[in-house]
Chains A and B, each alone.
Chain A
Amino acid sequence: MPSKKTWSWKGPGLVLALVLVLGLAACTGALPQSTLHPISDFGRRIDDLFRRIFWFAVGVFVVVEGLLVYAVFRFRDRGGEGRPEPVHGSTRLEIAWTLAPAVILVLIAVPTIRTIFVVDNPPPAADNALPIDVIGHQWWWEFRYPTLGIVTADEMHVPVGRTVELHLTSKDVIHSFWVPRIGGKRDVVPGHDNFLWFAVDSAGEYPGQCAEFCGEEHALMRVLAIAQDSATFQAWADSQKPDGREPTDSMAIQGRQLVTNGICISCHTIRGTQAQGTIGPDLTHVGSRQTLVATVLPNTPENMFRWIHNPDSVKPGTKMKIPQLPDDQIRKIVAYLQSLK
């Protein structure tokens, strides 16, 4: 019978080999959003717990799957007379395999609940924490530092070694704030106030993105966490506090005219000018940011031109609906915005 041939190690072997290859592949290359390489106390707690559960799962997997596969080989019908013994059950076995998983689950549940109460409650250091208001918008992030008087977008600067308290709210639909290397996500729910606490322990740039489906451009609602040592962070904070810098070169001066007399001001704020809109990102220091459009584009004059020229081509469905501007006007606007360091 050809069918008997088919039942061999071929199938499972292939699957296993593939899993191993993929597993190895997973360990190589840069993984800037990996949940397995935490850089904060919050992320580390989750990671420790996950690894513990993972190894329990591996143990259960090996034992149970092993027994199942063994049973199929061992008790395959090899012909011969008679029917197998019709065993109907065993109370002792039933109790055993009810208790065994229960014990494993207790071993998982105890550290789980302990961790829940740590990560869902303010940490002891919360009193000295740096508060940041995180406001979700379709499809970008607003960051406000109420104690520092800073408003910025898409790039969240945090000092290394200091506990940060995120206060998460939404201006429109539900989003979820997720920078995987910092830790787990927290939903950003309109009408609800959510909080997240963590202290990042090594400087660097950690990308993340919205994790709750929030409409057409959910995929491009990205965020960049920039962790800096306290001196660098302080310097950044100082640079963000003043009003928008007044332009000096003529292109930028004309650009400022176009911005403050045009439709830009209905959505954007540039402190120190007539631009006081609150719908789009604050542009007071947009020139100092590394990225544009929810961190999707590097902040270069060319990219800024591309964006203002036709926002919809960069991010289909974007809420930035503007009339097509003449190229020379856009160049002036870009010159001004880039000067807002």
Chain B
Amino acid sequence: MATSEAALRAPMSGAHSHEGTYGGGIWSWITTVDHKRIGILYGLTALTFFVIGGIEALIIRLQLHGPNAGIVSPEVYNQLFTMHGTTMIFLAVMPLGAAFFNFLVPLQIGARDVAFPRLNAFSYWLFLFGGLFLYSSWFFQAPDGGWFGYANLTSLQYSPGLGIDFWFLGLQLLGLSSLVAALNFAITILNLRAPGMKLMRMPLFTWMTLVTSFLMVLAFPAITVGLTLLMMDRFFGADFYRVAAGGDVVLWQHLFWIFGHPEVYILILPAMGIVSEVIPTFSQKPLFGYPVVVYSGVLIGFIGFGVWAHHMFAVGLGPIANSVFSATTMIIAIPTGVKIFNWLATMWGGKIKVKVPFLFAFGFIIMFIIGGLSGVMHASPPADLQQTDSYFVVAHFHYVLFGGSVFGLFAGIYYWYPKITGKLMSETLGKWHFWLMLIGFNITFFPMHFLGLQGMPRRTYTYEPGLGFHDMNLAATVGSFLLAFSFLFFFWNFFRSLKTGDEAGDNPWNAATLEWSIPSPPPHYNFDTVPTVRSRDPLWAEDGYEKPPADHEPEMPAGSAWPICLAAGLLLLAIAAISSHLWLVGVSVLWIFIAAYGWSFQPVYR
């Protein structure tokens, strides 16, 4: 095809255009198997859900601004916090991480794409459909069991109606999407590294992606089992969680948290990877203690599977279990602290350029420390008996997941935006965003520590005037609007810079990793010839990498519509299940079969 060849050649001539990377109509995006386009789709979808989840949070804050407010009904309030949590975890922060995995991992390891490009497209479409399926519940009945949906409140007896069905079917779709993506990334990282890109030369972000991928592969089966048992109970009258029939409600808590705690690290490790890239670049010094930072990430991943019952200290598991899980939880603080000290040492003696990506990475560290310290308080079961399920915990996990993950992910957005778009973002707007976000964040969430210690439980749609909760709640509500306001600067910057931003060039930050050796945005085949890597910091070291000149354009896999078809088949299956139409189940199974068949026999290259 003449046009695509022209597009291929364009980037190599130096004056590359965006067409080669992002051009083409809607169809080319629907059928794309290019990891960069899929990364962008992940990113934009995740940011959209981030805004929606944020709006839900604002309504929650409005309702809680004062005692006995009647902005929303109790039922709607319960739906709002359930959807807010589910959205932020499964539809915003995780996929934002996936956006970076997609866009960056092949670039950082010197590959032209991921191991299974079409499977990658399938992951994205299934994520999108899972999100849309979950959100369609607002037109029927939104789930209201909380993001960890404790049994037996989720049983048909105590939650009749479609809400919980939407929730667990949506999560199953999203879980499948994550599982497939995680396998894809683990295999990509282990197999597609450029010559010389040894494991211990991989950039930290790629390392943390590898760890996160293993966490996903190992953690998601637990929730899949838990949700399947729930489905059996709700759809087919099974008794896994029905106490009267000998079922056990604590079973759900174990299955959920065996997934749920590694999930926390799935949310934070990619951000830690980003920070481990941004801090060295802007300190103009290599990462201090690279192997230790890598190993501590791996260690966090391992220990992360042995701490789940610290979510259950009030359940009454007994002193032995509580002591063991307390100890493992405290141990996990050590590798986390080690990472922070290594970031500090990286900055120490450097020449720090205080640019927007650095500010966000720095914001990550200083806010995450607060969340980490309150985490150590929860690790002590007796102290946790007062804190768990109170606003103290709400403060804690927002310091970890917002102060940590979200700050880190935005550091990544500001850092790699020039690579992704070829344009620089405005520093001034970025700094407005950072400072307002930092201040708004702290006004929102710091008071929640006090609220928790003053005895305010979480997930309560209102509180009474005599309890002394009013001032802190009002502060949190004001802060949340400042926090939301700060994002206007981001989105303005984000869209404006696409048009008016300065040309970024290949390596605007003078960074060390391989993705900065190629044009911005990268041509759709990334590397015309595969580089040979000789250093951990290939672009900084003398003779850090070698790239032979290109003599032909690499051929890339052709687009395919089968991934979106297969994902649509699974969506249809979920719709069939929730609408209880057996014939529709038959149709969707047939659809899935045809799509899988068509996919299997479609040649990769055309």
Residues of A whose CB lies within 8 Å of any CB of B are: 2-4, 6-7, 11, 14-15, 18-19, 22-23, 25-26, 29-36, 45-46, 49-50, 53-54, 56-57, 60-61, 64-65, 67-69, 71-72, 75-78, 80, 83-90, 93-94, 97-98, 101-102, 105, 108-109, 112-113, 115-117, 119-121, 138, 172-174, 176, 178, 180-181, 183-187, 189-192, 194-195, 207-220, 222, 296, 316-317
Q: Does B446 contact A (CB under 8 A)?
A: yes
From A18, A69, A211, A317, B74 is in contact (CB under 8 Å) with A317
Stretch of B4-12, B206-214, B314-322 with 4 or more beta carbons under 8 angstroms from chain A:
B314-322
Asked if B385 is an interface residue, CB under 8 A from chain A, the answer is yes
Contact yes or no, A7 B354, CB < 8 A? yes
Bound-state CA distance A36–B387 (Å) is 11
Taking A93-B345, A115-B382, A189-B250 as contacts, is the C-beta distance between A84 and B351 under 8 angstroms? yes
- Of A7, A53, A89, the contact of B290 (CB 8 Å cutoff): A89
Tell me the nearest residue of chain B to A34, going by C-beta. Answer: B454
Whether B44 is near chain A, meaning CB under 8 Å from some CB there, is no
Chain B residues near A2: list those with CB within 8 A.
428
Q: How far apart sit A80 and B350, CA to CA, in the bound complex (Å)?
A: 13
Q: In the bound complex, how far is the Cα of B460 from the Cα of A210, in angstroms?
A: 10
- By Cβ-Cβ distance, the 3 closest A-B pairs, closest first, are A184-B385, A33-B455, A219-B460
- Which B residues are CB-close (under 8 A) to A4? 354
| A309→B74 CA distance, assembly (Å) | 20
Interface centre among B144, B159, B352 (most CB of A within 10 A): B352
Report if B337 contacts A (CB, 8 A): yes
Interface pair B385/A119, CB less than 8 Å apart:
yes
Question: Considering the complex, which residues of chain B in the window 314-350 have a beta carbon less than 8 Å from any beta carbon of chain A?
Answer: 314-316, 318-319, 322-323, 326-327, 330-331, 333-334, 337-338, 340-342, 344-345, 347-350
Please name 22 pairs of A and B residues whose Cβ atoms are closer than 8 Å in the assembled complex, sorted by A.
A7-B354, A15-B442, A35-B454, A61-B370, A68-B366, A71-B347, A72-B347, A72-B354, A75-B349, A87-B288, A88-B288, A101-B333, A101-B337, A109-B326, A116-B326, A189-B250, A214-B153, A218-B457, A218-B459, A218-B461, A219-B461, A317-B75
Segment with Cβ contacts to A, from B19-27, B48-56, B118-126, B279-287: B279-287
User: How near does chain B come to A80, taking the closest CB pair, in angstroms?
Assistant: 8
| C-alpha spacing A6/B428, complex, angstroms | 9
Quick check: A53 and B318 within 8 Å, CB to CB?
Answer: no
Q: How distant is the Cα of A278 from the Cα of B443 in the complex, in angstroms?
A: 47
By a CB distance below 8 angstroms, the chain B residues around A217 are 74
B287 to chain A, nearest CB (A): 8
Q: Hey, which chain A residues are within 8 Å of B462, CB to CB?
A: 219-220
Among the listed A32, A46, A64, A218, which residue makes an inter-chain contact with B466, where contact means beta carbons less than 8 Å apart?
A32
Cα distance A113–B313 when bound, in Å?
A: 13
Docked-complex contact A18 and B442, CB < 8 angstroms: yes
Given A94-B338, A215-B158, check contact A185 B288 (CB 8 Å).
no
Across the interface, do A57 and B377 meet the contact criterion of CB distance under 8 Å? yes
Interface residue? B225 (CB, 8 A):
no
Q: With A67-B344, A112-B326 as given contacts, are A84 and B319 in contact (CB-CB < 8 Å)?
A: no
The minimal Cβ–Cβ distance linking A210 to chain B, given in whole angstroms, is 7
- How many residues in B have their beta carbons less than 8 Å from beta carbons of A? 107
Which residues does chain A contribute within 8 Å of B468, judged by CB atoms? Answer: 29-34
* Chain B contacts for A78, CB-based, 8 A: 351
Given A50-B377, A84-B349, A218-B459, decide whether A120 and B322 contact each other with a Cβ distance below 8 A: yes
Residues of A within 8 A of B146 (CB): 213
Q: Which residues of B contact A214 (CB under 8 A)?
A: 153
Given A46-B382, A105-B331, A218-B459, verify A98-B338 contact (CB < 8 Å): yes
**Residues of chain A lying within 8 A (CB to CB) of residue B461:** 218-219
Distance of B323 from chain A, by nearest CB (Å):
5
Residue pair A84, B78 in contact (C-beta under 8 Å)? no
A6 and B453 contact, CB distance less than 8 A: no
Residues of A within 8 A of B144 (CB): 216
Determine how close the nearest CB of chain A comes to the CB of B374; give it in whole angstroms. 8
Known: A71-B344, A185-B389. 7 other contacts (CB 8 A): A15-B438, A18-B446, A116-B323, A116-B381, A176-B389, A185-B314, A211-B457
Query: B366 to A209, Cβ gap below 8 A?
Result: no
Q: How far is the CA of A190 from the CA of B248 in the complex (A)?
A: 8
Cα separation A263 to B471 with both chains bound (whole Å): 44
CB distance from B71 to the nearest CB of A (A): 14
Cα A280 to Cα B374 in complex, Å, equals 40
Q: Which chain A residues lie closer than 8 Å to B450 at the CB level?
A: 22-23, 25-26
B 442-490 contacts with A by CB, 8 A: 442-443, 446-447, 450, 452-464, 466-468, 471-472, 475
Q: How far is the CA of A197 from the CA of B454 in the complex (A)?
A: 22
Contact partner of B75 (CB less than 8 A), chosen from A53, A211, A216, is A216
Give the contacting residue for B386; candidates A14, A97, A180; CB below 8 A. Answer: A180
Interface assignment of B87: CB less than 8 Å from any CB of chain A:
no
When chains A and B are docked, how far (Å) is the Cα of A15 from the Cα of B75? 35
Query: In the assembled complex, which residues on chain B have CB atoms less than 8 Å from the CB atom of A208?
Result: 455
Asked if B457 contacts A102 (CB within 8 A), the reply is: no
The residue in chain A whose Cβ has the minimal distance to the Cβ of B365 is A68
Q: Answer yes or no: B526 CB below 8 A from chain A CBs.
A: no
Within 8 A of A (CB), among B249-300: 249-250, 283-286, 288-292
* Min C-beta distance of A165 to chain B, whole Å: 14
CB of B369 within 8 A of CB of A54, answer no
| Interchain CB contact under 8 A, A97 and B158 | no
When C-beta atoms are compared, the residue in chain B nearest to A112 turns out to be: B380
A26 touches B454 (CB 8 A): yes
B453 touches A185 (CB 8 A): no
Interface residues of B in 416-438 (CB under 8 A from A): 427-428, 431, 435, 438
Q: How far is the CA of A64 from the CA of B457 in the complex (A)?
A: 31
Q: Taking the complex as formed, is B238 at the interface, i.e. its CB lies under 8 A from any CB of chain A?
A: no
A53–B447 CB distance below 8 A: no
B319 near A120 with CB under 8 A, answer: yes
Nearest CB on B from A139, distance (A):
10
> Which residues does chain A contribute within 8 Å of B283, judged by CB atoms?
75, 84
Question: Which residue of A has the minimal Cβ distance to B370?
Answer: A61
Q: A19-B446, A25-B471, A216-B74 are in contact. Are A14 and B341 (CB under 8 A)?
A: no
Contact of B330 among A36, A105, A120, A210 (CB under 8 A): A105
Does B388 sit at the interface, judged by CB under 8 A? yes
- Of B374, B385, B455, B472, which is within 8 A of A186 by CB? B385
Residues on A with C-beta less than 8 A from B74 are: 216-217, 219, 316-317
